[in-house]
Structure 1
Amino acid sequence: MTSKEIITLLPYSKPFLFVDDIESINEDGVRGSFTFDPELDFYKGHFKNNPITPGVILTETMAQIGLVSLGIFLLSAKEEDFNGQVAMTSTNVEFLRPVFPGEKVSVVSEKIYFRFNKLKCKITMQNLAGDKVCYGELAGMFIKNANG
Structure 2
Amino acid sequence: MMKINGILKKLPYTEPFLFVDSLLKITENSAEGVYTFKDNLSFYQGHFKNLPVTPGVILTECCAQIGMVCLGIYLLTKEGEIDTEGFQIGMSSAEMEYLLPVYPNEKVRVVSEKIYFRFSKLKCKVVMYNDRDQIVCKGTIAGMLKLKSDA
Bucket of the pairwise TM-score, normalised by the shorter protein: over 0.9
Shift of 1:143: 3.7
Q: Distance in 1 between matches of 2:109 and 2:82?
A: 27
1:73 and 1:135 map into 2 onto residues whose CA distance is: 22
Q: Does 1:125 align with 2:113?
A: no
User: What are the superposed Cα offsets for residues 34-76 of structure 1, whole Å, 9 maximum, x if unpaired?
Assistant: 0000000100000011000000000000000000000000011
1:89 partner letter: S
CA distance in 2, matches of 1:2, 1:8: 10
State the number of aligned residues.
Answer: 148
Secondary structure class of the residue paired with 2:44: helix
Q: 1:92 to 1:5 in 2, by over 3 A?
A: same
Q: Which residue of 2 aligns with 1:31?
A: 32
Q: Pairwise CA RMSD of aligned residues?
A: 1.4
Scaled by the length of structure 2, the TM-score of the pair is: 0.94
Query: Is 1:106 paired with 2:83?
Result: no
- What letter matches 2:55 in structure 1? P
| Residue deviations 1:75-131 (CA, integer Å, cap 9, x gap) | 111225252221101110000000000000000000000001100000000001000
Q: Partner of 1:99: helix, strand, or coil?
A: coil
Query: Counterpart of 1:110 in 2: which secondary structure?
Result: strand
**Letter of the structure 2 residue corresponding to residue 49 of structure 1:** N
Shift of 1:146: 5.8
Q: 8 Å contact 2:113–2:124 — kept in the other structure?
A: yes
- After the TM superposition, which parts of structure 1 deviate over 2 Å for at least 4 consecutive aligned residues? 143-148
Amino acid of the structure 2 residue aligned with 1:69: C
Structure 1: runs of 5 or more not aligned = none
Cα distance in structure 2, aligned partners of 1:84 and 1:111: 20
Secondary structure at the residue paired with 1:53? coil
Structure 1 contact 53–98 (Cα < 8 Å) conserved = yes
1:144 to partner: Cα distance: 3.0
How far residue 141 of structure 1 moved from its aligned partner, in angstroms, is: 0.1
For 2:139, the aligned partner's letter is: G
